[in-house]
Amino acid sequence: MSTAEHEKGAVRETPDRYGAFPRLTPEQLEDLSAHGERRRTAEGEVLYREGEPFREFLAILSGTVEILHDQGGPDERTVAVHGPGRFLGELGLLEGQAAFNTAVVREAGEILAVPVERQRALVGSDPVLGDLILRAYLGRRYLLIGLGAGFRILGSCYSRDTLRLREFAARNRLPHRWVDLERDKEAEALLRRFAIRPEETPVVLWQGERLLRNPSNAELARLIGLPAPSSENERCDVMVVGAGPAGLAAAVYGASDGLTTVTVDAVATGGQAATSSRIENYLGFPSGISGGELIERAVLQAHKFGARLMVPAEVSTLTPQDDEYVVTFTDGSRAQAGAVVLASGVRYRRLEVPGIDRLEGISVYYAATVHEAGLCRADPVAVVGGGNSAGQAALFLAQHASGVHLLVRGGDLNANMSRYLVDQVEQHPKIEVLLHTEVRGVAGEEKLESLTVEDNASNERRELQAAALFVFIGARPRTEWLGGVLALDEKGFVLTGADTGAVADANRWAPLGREPMLLETTLPGVFAAGDVRSGSVKRVASATGEGAMAIRLVHEHRERRGNLVTADSEGRRPVAGGSVSSR
């Protein structure tokens, strides 16, 4: 929208085409008014600013508000215009992140302002209002991602640190735009403007003035407002390591049961599930749900019950101390936990093909999200794998690419893929399924241009045109830091329950008068749930169930050990250092 249009008063409300800009009913506004205050607005007033934390949930009673990206900067643009009945903000308001845009009053009127903390509680307690706001905020977040709003990552496509920052932003569903030093015409002007030497890249730019030179993931997280581990030796009832479906389920059930629960993850909330474009066999969602939406709902649910989530926070050691455990993070901070739930999941296996490493993150990916899909529009792509993740990725990418080659090493798509996915994949006009097919080579200087594939039944080779390669060939557990601490199977997965019988230390368990419980490891009070556990069913529903079950077993462990943390007469629970905190 141009300045001239503003001067003429031609401020038109953005249509609600995707459910991202719904209107509250008079009854909902009336209910909200009991929790906030009405306030007059003036033309040109800034209601909240990009880069600053949200203080209030704002609903428009009269007048018009414009949402701007990069207000006053060279990339200023209108994201949306809202009128009476609509509400402002996006997902960051509910998750404690900074605002990714600026709200400016264009036509004076009146707003209803509800403090953020009170609004978060309302979203959790009112299912109708909560669902309306959550769906709108999720839609707005994905619109911002598609617009390339938020911060900019300026770096070379050949830089490992650039790849690291891009992956962190994508996995945490943070609006951003990558400016490639090698190909983007904007890059040179930005380097000159901020006096950045090429060897100082990658850098993160935000709000036209905030600049971080090759920041760590933690530094970028703090810029956005994600919570950090405390330098103090905190104590919690349950420490959950990993924030995928199993870890988030443990967080929800632990916190809702009154346990002080801390959940940490080295990269992002969601695990592999968050990279899934559509999950159609999860109970309660007959039309399916995207992995990102499922995870955001779980995160908000965990916050609702008082669980604390910290990302990125990578655990380096787990040490028994008396009847509890000391968890040490890679930054040197520590926490003490009465029980631990290991839900660190797995990481994708990399494809071993000569020359492929130089293309990883550029046109070879191990996840298929809106970020990757946006980089390969109208071009053919290839997906390697024969499981559900590969099938879901193929269907999702077929919405963006000109065609999808699904390369399956085996001879039967039904062997490892759910029947409903097989039917959709085989019937899709843009997906070509190639059985008995393996990648033998990649071609392309700056990005992938073609693949050499081989039929492993006939040994015949041929070239396939592909602008991107998506790899889903299984995974390995994230348990390197647990070696020598507790028992793992031959593939590195955590042994639990009856499987620990031959390796559990009898001297450790004899005083307890019991054997390890179903999900318990060779350490009493340390449980494993989800993909990281040996013998687990690698499905979202199974991981969620195990996360919930782990909390029930935590209660049994606490009751048998007598290490319950009791509340004082005022209902406050003790924390590290002898202080107390209210729940």
Q: What is the pLDDT of residue 576?
A: 34
Contacts (Cβ under 8 Å, ≥6 apart) of 192: none
Q: Give the pLDDT score at 562.
A: 47
pLDDT in the model for residue 561: 66
**pLDDT at residue 427, as a whole number:** 96
Per residue, the 3-state secondary structure of 451-515, as one string, reads EEEEECCCCCEEEEECCEEEECCCEEECCHHHCCCCCECCCCCECCHHHHCCCCCHHHHHHHCCC
pLDDT in tens, the chain (583 residues): 433 344 444 568 999 978 899 999 999 999 999 999 999 999 999 999 999 999 999 999 999 999 999 898 888 899 999 999 999 999 999 888 999 999 999 999 999 999 998 998 888 788 899 889 988 998 999 899 888 889 999 999 888 899 899 989 988 989 999 998 988 888 888 898 889 988 899 999 988 778 999 999 999 999 998 876 665 678 999 999 999 999 999 999 999 999 999 999 999 999 888 878 788 888 999 988 888 889 988 998 998 899 999 999 999 999 999 889 999 999 899 999 999 999 999 988 889 999 898 888 788 988 887 777 777 777 899 999 999 989 999 999 999 999 999 999 999 999 999 999 999 999 999 999 999 999 999 999 778 999 999 999 999 999 999 999 999 998 889 999 998 999 999 999 999 999 998 899 988 999 999 999 999 999 999 999 999 999 999 889 999 999 999 999 999 999 876 443 333 434 444 333 333 333 3
Report which of 254, 262, 266, 257 is spatially closest to residue 311, judged by C-alpha positions.
266
How do 580-582 and 364-365 pair as beta strands?
A: unpaired
Query: What are the CA-CA distances from residue 489 to residues 13, 325, 360 (Å)?
Result: 59, 22, 30
Q: How many residues does the chain have?
A: 583
Give the 3-state secondary structure of residue 581: strand
Which contiguous run of DSSP H or E holds residue 188? helix 186-193
Say whether 324 sits in a helix, a strand or coil.
strand
Question: 45: closest CA among 65, 71, 60?
Answer: 65
- Binning the chain into helix, strand and coil, the percentages to the nearest 5 are 30, 25, 40
Q: Are 125 and 34 in contact (CB under 8 A)?
A: no
Q: Residue 231 has what pLDDT?
A: 55
**Could you give the CA distance from residue 128 to residue 80 in angstroms, rounded to a whole number?**
24
Of the candidates 129, 106, 113, 109, the residue with the CA atom closest to the CA atom of residue 61: 109
pTM of this prediction exceeds 0.85:
no
Q: Work out the number of other CB atoms within 10 angstroms of the CB of residue 576.
A: 14
pLDDT computed for residue 66 by the predictor: 97
How far is CA 581 from its chain centroid? 29
Dist. CA 357–CA 407, nearest whole Å: 19
Q: Are 526 and 340 in contact (CB under 8 A)?
A: yes
